A and B are shown apart, each in its own frame.
Chain A
Amino acid sequence: MDGFIAAGIIGIGLGAQYALLALGFTLIFGILGVVNFAHGGFYLVGGYIAYAMVGMAGWPYPAAVLVAILTTGALGYVVELLLVERLVNDELATMMLTLGLYLMMSTTVLVIFGPESPEFIFPVSGTLRGKGFYIPLANLVVLSVCVLAIGAVYLLMYRTGFGRALRALADDRTVAMAQGIRPRLLFPVAFALATALAALTGALVTPILTLSPHAGDAVLATSFMVVILGGLGSIVGATVAAFIVGLVEAYSSVYLGGSKGALALFVLVLFILVVRPSGLFGREVRGA
């Protein structure tokens, strides 16, 4: 029973991190129709900017996280404006472009910071312990920030005119444009928002795990799986799927081991996709 509670807590923590990552990934697909293979790169860049600000410039960690979010968001804005925008209607070309961008980002990090992991530690230490469970305080802080950020994204998307405009573009770009919504203005902002979310996750999560130039690889795979499971482009789907993936990963790894656990997760995803090919909350056809 102790292991069951501990696994559940670990699963919720993983789910919140995956949700934050997947939200950015699904926003870009939902609004722009672009499968952003560079998402892991923005996570990586966010982590390394935060590390550089803390470890090299001596800034306090919260300020470093803020700088990472703003800088990576600005980078995302520029990338969309100068590169993605030109190919935005060609799904295959944007896939290749973003994959290339990811390789460039991870190699640049490797060249600048070297292949070895730097010392980047979360400023809060200690562990909350109870009967049959433990939660590192750092994970609790990260979980809280993730939940707040997910809530903020929901408010932005469902309670503001800006969010309504973005959702209109996701639903039907042609009709949205006929209503006066200008994708050339909103696409870079949406891309910046998504990359800022990736950077926030990178800056929050890498100090509780380990920062290294390949840290974006796993992020891309996880985000992709969560978003496919939730339904490409669905914000609610991505959030629900993230928690499902987090909990299944935790329980299967604890009870079946690292190898069989990973297999169980993929079998479950495969099964759900066989039953619902468009994902849990996905639509049959993208409107945009």
Chain B
Amino acid sequence: MRKILRRSSALMVAVVAAGVWTSWLAMPAGADCEVKLGVMGPLSGAAAAWGSAMRIGAEFAVAEANKAGGVQVGAEKCRVSVTPYDSKYTADGAAAGANFLASQGVKFIIGPVGSPEATGIKPVAERNGQITFNSGYAKNAIEPRFPLAFHQLSGPSTWARPVAKAAKEKFGFKSIVVVAPNDQGGTDIASVDAEAYRAVGVKASEEYYQRGTSNFAPIVARILSSNPDAVDTASSPPADGATIAKQLREAGFDGPIGRLGGPGTPEIIRAVGGIDKLKNFYWLEIVPTDDPGVKSLWEDYKSLMGAPAPDNTLMATSVVASRMILKAITKAGTAADVKKVAEALRSLSVEDRNLGKGEWTGQTFYGINQEISLPVGMGMIVDGKHLGVRRIDTSGQ
């Protein structure tokens, strides 16, 4: 027994020593204070690609800051660290994550990713005094009663109508079925998308499925029984979107398939077997990926981190949110007074060296002006040919 205790103690000492050593290695020269950034999202399960992109974006922004000597907080430069948390795309996961991160002294959280997570984290983070920067498309992604909750990208209320209009003009469809999971992460987006299609003169209906469905053949048969001109996979996770698209084509559907929802089109194209199999496809890109500034973000990532970034565009909005938080800390001159940092954040102009100029929005739809609105893009594949991603003007939405 004594031998086991002695070995365990030696092991613990070694682990602690290794931890101290790696922390010391990661610390910029001269830094004697630390700003902790939490990053939250699904790091496992169907939406793991989104959570990983969120984590990678925050890690890149932090590496950038540390390379420049750390973030300026008052008179000193502090190193920045990242603490990731897997909130599993669930409300309870995000709420538990907020508490865990609070226990680690984290006051600034990049994420969470999805609507259920955003719903779960808001009250807990507000109580803990934590700023969050979620990317959910929920109708209540941010609310006036939770002033510490920010939104890192514009939601369907901003881009759904112009993208629906452009898609209708290109493909000329008159009816569409919008298909999404039957929880808040699906219904809040699909209903806004459907409304946007109706607003531009397209007959739209909604079809929901149980999250976790893996074989969509029966759902596809149901969709096709209504004989729509087009189908939109909205905010379905990329793997679901790929299966739906694959099974629609197998069933003989040759109309356009859309995706006015979360990022993941490259994954869908790959999983379906290429753009020639998708034939006619259009999608929202949360950043205009063909813009030189956006492209250079991926190059910057590779050069700094030594490996290519994933092609999931949530990485880009996560970078912007992380950079904005760090700027706000510098402007506030404190990382301890969260309300002061939030105030500084609201007063910053939305501008990013890769993504360009944007604005704070959200007052009309959410009742609070805490949404970063940057240009979005719309991609199109027509008759198996990739037409690229063009910038979509969302001003005035």
A residues within 8 A CB of B243? 209-210
A49 interfacial contact with B, CB 8 Å: no
Whether A7 pairs with B209 at a CB distance below 8 angstroms is no
CA A107 – CA B267 in complex, angstroms?
19
Report B-chain residues with C-beta under 8 Å of the C-beta of A214. Answer: 44-46, 48, 239
B290 within 8 A of A: no
The count of residues in chain A whose C-beta lies closer than 8 Å to any C-beta of chain B is 48
A residues less than 8 Å from B219 (CB atoms): 253, 258
- Say what secondary structure dominates the interface of chain A: helix
Is the Cβ of B271 less than 8 Å from the Cβ of A254? Answer: no
Q: Is B396 part of the binding interface, using a Cβ–Cβ cutoff of 8 Å?
A: no
Q: For the complex, is A33 an interface residue (Cβ under 8 Å from B)? A: no
| A78: Cβ under 8 A from any B Cβ | no
Asked whether any CB of chain B lies closer than 8 Å to the CB of A287, the reply is no
Closest to A255 in B: B222
* Complex alpha-carbon distance, A251 and B219, angstroms: 10
Which residues of B (200-248) have their CB < 8 Å from a CB of A?
A: 207-210, 212-215, 217-219, 221-222, 225, 238-240, 242-243, 246
| CB atoms of B222 and A253 under 8 A apart | yes
State whether A110 and B214 are in contact (beta carbons under 8 Å apart), knowing that A116-B238, A212-B239 are contacts in the complex.
Answer: no
Asked, given contacts A116-B310, A258-B213, whether A129 binds B252 with beta carbons under 8 Å apart, the answer is yes
| From B43, B44, B217, B238, contact of A117 by CB (8 A) | B238
Indicate if B182 sits at the interface (CB-CB under 8 A). yes
A221: chain B residues at CB < 8 Å are 212
Flag whether B295 is at the interface (Cβ < 8 A). Answer: no
Contact B270 A127 (CB under 8 A): no
Q: With the chains together, A218 CA to B237 CA distance in Å?
A: 15
- Note all chain B residues with C-beta closer than 8 A to A259: 182, 208-210
Chain A residues within 8 Å of B240, by CB: 210
Interface centre among A115, A138, A215, A218 (most CB of B within 10 A): A115
> Which residues from chain B contact A153 at a C-beta distance below 8 Å?
none
Convert B246-265 into 0s and 1s, putting 1 for each residue whose CB lies closer than 8 angstroms to a CB of A.
Answer: 10001110000000000010
Q: Is B52 an interface residue (CB 8 A)?
A: yes
A166 contacts B by Cβ under 8 Å: no
List 17 other contacts, CB 8 Å, given A115-B43, A258-B207: A13-B217, A110-B48, A115-B51, A117-B238, A129-B252, A134-B251, A208-B246, A209-B246, A214-B44, A218-B212, A254-B222, A257-B208, A257-B209, A261-B218, A262-B209, A262-B210, A262-B213
B residues adjacent to A (C-beta < 8 A): 43-46, 48-49, 51-52, 182, 207-210, 212-215, 217-219, 221-222, 225, 238-240, 242-243, 246, 250-252, 264, 267, 270-271, 273-274, 310, 312
4 nearest interchain CB pairs?
A258-B209, A253-B218, A115-B48, A262-B210
